[in-house]
Amino acid sequence: MGIKQTYTVDDALNELGITNYTMTDEPSTEAQFKKYFRKVTGTDESGSAILSDNTDDFGVTWSQIKTKMTELNSSKKYRLLREYPNIQDQLDDIYHNGIDGWKATIKAVKDKYPKE
């Protein structure tokens, strides 16, 4: 599994603590969010989920989601992880350049983003 290239609405919802929902597609606008997102508000007598399209039930706004996505996608940790070579390239580096060559590759990324 590689590093995510960008965080999604689903990632932002999870980070915001929003649970018990369904989304039929990845929205990119507030109108799409309102169309695709449904909050599970309970279950009916047969055990099926009761879905609400009432934005008052959502527990989150599109503005909060966009803010969280921006925060996630611009975080130092995320930028650092995107810079590391994928695992296949790292293994190839070890094979061709040995552990010391691989360590040099990783150190270059770490030096670019020193711990605070």
The structure tokens listed for 38 are: 């449904």
What is the DSSP-derived secondary structure letter of residue 83? H
Kindly state whether residues 83 and 50 are assigned to the same domain. no
pLDDT tens profile 80-103: 777 788 889 999 999 999 999 999
Task: Say if residue 3 is in the same domain as residue 50.
Answer: yes
Q: Which domain holds residue 111?
A: 78-116
Residue 29 CA to residue 62 CA, distance in Å, equals 8
**21-44 pLDDT, tens digit each:** 999 999 999 999 999 999 999 999
Asked if 6 contacts 82 with a C-beta cutoff of 8 angstroms, the reply is: no
Same domain flag for 82 and 103: yes
Question: How many independent structural domains does the chain possess?
Answer: 2
Same domain, 68 and 83: no
- Decide: pTM greater than 0.75: no
Contact 59, 41 (CB under 8 A): no
- Please check whether residues 35 and 83 belong to one and the same domain: no
Q: Are 16 and 68 in contact (CB under 8 A)?
A: yes
